[in-house]
Copies of this chain bind each other. A is one copy, B any other.
Amino acid sequence: MGRPAKHDPDDFIDAAVELFARGGARSVALSAVAASIGAANGSIYHRFADRASLLAAMWLRTSARFERGYRGQLGEPNLESVVAVGPWVVEWCRDHPAEAQVLQAGLRAFGPDDWPPEARAALTTPDDIRRDLRRIAKRLAASTSATPDEIAFAMLELPIAIVRRALHAGRAPGKREVDLVRGLMARILGDPSDRT
């Protein structure tokens, strides 16, 4: 009922993410977002209460998408799937360069202090991934010589760090980054060539 929407809310988020990837948080002006998808200035406020809500939506959608893929890739975690998740992160960033920039910038870049309460409430969940990682890492620590902290780092922050340089230089991560992740994770989790 009512006039059909011309633009999907996701269209606005897409445009905002794209603008962010190009020019940083400052260039995510609501007028610029609306203009870049051919919508009128005021039309945006039917979907997002204010600028903070749009920034919140950018971050929440992006981190949720990443986390969803990450968990799917991890499956029921064992040593193999843990090693495989590293290269997967690199590939995800290559396939979603703009969203990868959002993740790289980190939550702080999106001013969570200004978010509306319901958006902030949605933030408590994503931190669960760290808890899960620590749990998984503890279980795996028995089958490797690495500490749980080292395993957890290798599973998430290591591949992200490797992608970082490529993204900051404005190019997509490629084979070199995949190789680097694979090599380092093997070295940290116990080189397979050691355990033939």
Contact = CB atoms under 8 A, between A and B. Distances in A.
21 contacts: A23-B111, A24-B111, A25-B25, A104-B106, A105-B105, A105-B108, A105-B109, A106-B164, A109-B109, A146-B187, A149-B176, A149-B179, A149-B183, A150-B183, A153-B180, A153-B184, A157-B164, A158-B158, A161-B164, A187-B187, A187-B188
Nearest to A112: B24
Interface in A18-34: 23-26
Contacts of A109: 24-25, 105, 109
B150 A113 contact: no
Nearest to A160: B161
Contacts of A150: 180, 183-184, 187
Q: Is the interface of A mostly helix, strand, loop or mixed?
A: helix
Nearest to A159: B161
Contacts of A105: 105, 108-109
A46 interface: no
A52 B23 CA distance: 13
Interface in A141-181: 146-147, 149-150, 153, 157-158, 160-162, 164-165, 168, 176, 179-180
Contacts of A168: 106-108
A92 B105 CA distance: 21
A165 B184 CA distance: 20
A118 B184 CA distance: 39
